[in-house]
Amino acid sequence: MAVPDATDLTCRELVELVTDYLEGALAARDRLDFERHLVWCSWCRDYLDHMRTTIAITGRPETADPPSPLREQLLEAFRDWKTARE
Amino acid sequence: MHRVAPQTSVSDDATVVAALRDGDEHVFAELVTAYSNPLLRLAQDFVRTRSVAEEVVQETWLAVFEGIDRFEGRSSLKTWLFRILVNKAKSRGAREARTVPFSSLAPTDDESAVPEDRFRGPDNQWAGHWASPPRPLDTYPEHRLLAREVRGRIGQALEALPDSQRVVVTLRDVAGWDADEVCETLGLSEGNQRVLLHRGRAKLRAALEQYLDED
């Protein structure tokens, strides 16, 4: 791998552009620089993969139950609604 | 990406909506677990007290019961659910004359997505490139990414975010709203929305990495 050109994006710069990239908010030129960096930098590809995976996991359902009085009240409200429907 | 696909039944909207219409309490209980904590946390950002926030969550579910027969699936169920919550919480907050902090949501000080010491210093010929790069995800045991615990850890990190970052990340990545809806609802510019999202997500990524590196 050749020593990078001073005009190339550094990894440090790239990580700050990840959200703009994922949001489609980079100008065409910046997007090109971003993608060119990814071609030769597997570390930044890994970083992007971490970020996409983080987003996917955040979108998974929560696993911790809500406080139990609230949970009971909600289940009761559901039963009332169900009864009223029948 | 296929390795992190959602696994529980509450991810399949058509099934969930049909089950709710049928009065399936088991499915409803799963939904309550999946979304009540983030709904409650979000409500608290708009209203004064925890008890009012709980009322808002209850009103939200009642509105879901009322509306479920008319739900057409134009947005996902959770997007709709969070939309109802935010509408109710906002009007409740307005009635309480609570100053919603979102006009001051603009990001302030600079912060880096990744600590500086993970990059090579200025004297290095590779200055600004990784010194301590992230590990490829496929080098971690697969079950670590699939474990229920990983969502719990992300949830804790989400909880610990500054309010403005948490609200934006919750609406975008938990509720699945698009950027325009978040900007409009919170009165944020597109640029500020992206900065808050960026900083919040960077912290969640760091929490994921920390979790994965634990064993």
Site from A48, A74, A85 to mutate, B interface, most B CB atoms within 10 angstroms: A74
3-state secondary structure of A62: coil
Write the residue in B116, B126, B198 that is nearest to A19 by C-beta: B198
User: Is B31 part of any domain?
Assistant: yes
Q: Residue B5 above 50 pLDDT?
A: no
Domain assignment present for B101? no
Average pLDDT, chain A: 91
Give the range among B1-10, B50-59, B109-118 with minimum mean pLDDT: B1-10
Last residue of a domain, one of B95, B130, B162: B95
Q: Please name the residue that has the structure tokens 């971690």.
A: B140
Check which CATH number belongs to the domain holding B55 and give it: 1.10.1740.10
pLDDT of residue B161: 94
What b-and-e string marks burial along A23-34, b requiring 16 or more CB atoms within 10 Å of the CB?
eeebeeeeeebb
B4–A57: do the CB atoms touch at under 8 Å? yes
Residue appearing with tokens 């071609």 = A39
Give the integer Cα–Cα distance in Å for B210 and B215: 10
Distance CA A44, CA B126 (A): 14
- Are B28 and B59 in the same domain? yes
Residues B38 and B66 in one domain: yes
- pLDDT for the residue numbered B3: 45
Domain shared by B65 and B134, yes or no: no
CA distance A21 to chain B (A): 11
Answer whether residue A9 shows pLDDT above 70: yes
- Rounded Cα distance between A19 and B198, Å, is 5
Does one domain contain both B64 and B115?
no
pLDDT over 60 at B55, yes or no = yes
How far apart, in whole angstroms, are the C-alpha atoms of residue B83 and residue B76?
A: 11
B contacts of A10 (beta carbons < 8 Å)? 119, 127-129
Structure tokens at B167: 């609200």
Share of chain B above pLDDT 90, in %: 74
Cα separation of B74 and B88, whole Å?
Answer: 20
Contacts of A59 in chain B (CB under 8 A): 6, 173-174, 176
Q: What domain range is B60 assigned to?
A: 2-95
Whether residues B34 and B112 fall in one domain:
no
CATH of domain A11-85: 1.10.10
Same domain as B118, residue B88: no
| Res B158 pLDDT > 50 | yes
CB contact under 8 A, B128 and A19: no
Q: What is the ipTM of this complex?
A: 0.90
Tens of pLDDT, residues B133-155: 999 999 999 999 999 899 999 99
| DSSP secondary structure letter of residue B174 | I
Provide the pLDDT for residue B1.
Answer: 41
Based on the structure, what is the number of domains in chain B? Answer: 2
Identify whether B196 is part of a domain: yes
Q: What are phi and psi of B149, to 5 degrees?
A: -60, -30
Q: Residue B139 falls within a domain, yes or no?
A: yes
pLDDT digits (tens, 9 = 90+) for B176-198: 999 999 999 998 999 999 999 99
**Which phi and psi (to 5°) does residue B140 adopt?**
-95, 150
Residues B89 and B153 in one domain: no
- Give mean pLDDT, residues B196-205: 97
Tell the residue number behind the tokens 């955040």, with chain if given. Answer: A58
Amino acid B169: pLDDT:
97
- Checking if the pLDDT of B59 tops 90, the result is yes
DSSP states of B105-173: -S--S---SS-GGGB--TTSTTTTSBSSPPPPGGGS-HHHHHSHHHHHHHHHHHHHS-HHHHHHHIIII
Is residue B111 located within the same domain as residue B202?
A: yes
Q: How far apart are CA A19 and CA B182, in angstroms?
A: 15
pTM of the shown model? 0.89
CATH code assigned at B129: 1.10.10.10
Containing H/E element for B98? none
Phi, psi angles (nearest 5°) of residue B113 = -65, -30
A26 pLDDT higher than 50: yes
Among the candidates B95, B130, B164, a domain finishes at B95
Specify the length of chain B in residues.
215
Tell me what the mean pLDDT of segment B69-82 comes to: 93
| Cβ distance of A54 and B35 shorter than 8 Å | no
Q: Which of B155, B156, B159, B169 is nearest to B199 (CA)?
A: B169
Q: How many CB pairs under 8 A join A and B?
A: 172
Comparing CA positions, the residue from A40, A43, A48, A42 lying closest to residue A18 is A48
In a domain, B192, yes or no: yes
CB contact under 8 A, B135 and A46: yes
Predicted local confidence at residue B2, as pLDDT: 42
Residues B164 and B204 in one domain: yes
Report yes or no on B100 lying in a domain: no
Domain boundary at B53, B69, B95, which? B95
Q: Is residue B114 part of a domain?
A: yes
Residue B201 predicted with pLDDT over 60 = yes
Closest residue by Cα to residue B28 from A39, A47, A66, A9: A66
- Contact by Cβ (8 Å): B126, A38: no
- B29 and B75 in a single domain? The answer is yes
Q: Do B190 and B179 contact (CB within 8 A), yes or no?
A: yes
Residue extents of the structural domains in chain A: 11-85
Residue B100 has pLDDT above 90, yes or no: no
- A73–B198 C-beta distance less than 8 A: no
